[in-house]
Amino acid sequence: MSVDSLLRMLPEHAARICTDITAFDEAMAVGETARFRDPARWEDLEVDPRWAVIGGNDHGDTWLLGADGGVWLFDSNHGLQSAHLFEALRIDITEWLVLAHALRTFERIAEPSDDDVMRLDMMLESISPGLGDRYPYPLPFA
């Protein structure tokens, strides 16, 4: 699928789905991607035009769609952007949105039981094996 067709899978309106994931709508993603591609923000001489911005968060980090169709994260603490600094989640855009909604559900549990912890682990494994280990932020109940 092309990046344009994948961006159509974003929500109709930008939304902060969970603490770590704000999903942009298509128009916002296109605008943020244009800003993201500014060569002054990159440490490399060439900017790879295959990256598209699909979201952000309160940490100032950037959720990206890569040329492989997968979701990646750029941690803003790195400073200038470079593809070697992007972290692969090894999930696609649909799985990223499912992840965000699942995390929101578990973030709302004030006093988690052992069963809640097990359900969260099972949910992450059902989205993508090993996702809990690859997720770059502390998980609910961690």
pLDDT digits (tens, 9 = 90+) for 72-130: 998 876 666 667 678 999 999 999 999 999 999 999 999 999 999 999 999 999 999 99
Task: Supply the pTM of this predicted model.
Answer: 0.89
140-to-41, 66, 121 alpha-carbon distances in Å: 32, 27, 10
Quick one: which H or E segment has residue 5? helix 3-7
